[in-house]
Amino acid sequence: MILAVDTTTKYLSSAIADSRGKVILEINQYEPFMHAERINIITDFLIRASGKQPFDIRHLIISEGPGLFTSLRVSASFAKGFAVVYPHVKVVAISSFRALWYPFKGHKVAVLLDAKKREVFASAFDENGNVIMEPTIIKPAYLYEKLGDEFLYVGEGAEIYRDIFKNVPPNNPTFPHAKDMIPLAMEEIEKGNFVDIDTFEPHYLRQPDAVVKKRGSESKPSP
Whole-structure pTM value: 0.87
Report d(CA 60, CA 216) in Å as an integer.
37
Same domain flag for 187 and 87: yes
Residue 213 within any structural domain of the chain:
no
The DSSP 8-state label assigned to residue 149 in this structure reads G
Same domain flag for 92 and 102: no
Tell me if 202 sits within 8 A of 64, measured CB to CB. yes
Q: What is the pLDDT of residues 6-40, one digit of tens each?
A: 998 889 999 999 999 999 999 999 887 788 889 99
Same domain flag for 11 and 66: yes
What pLDDT sits at residue 203? 81
Residue 190 within any structural domain of the chain:
yes
| Residue 35 backbone phi and psi in degrees, to 5 | -55, -50
Q: Using alpha carbons, select from 109, 130, 134 the residue that is nearest to residue 121.
A: 134
For 27, the domain range is 2-96+176-208
Same domain flag for 31 and 115: no
Q: Which amino acid is at 150?
A: E
Same domain flag for 181 and 127: no
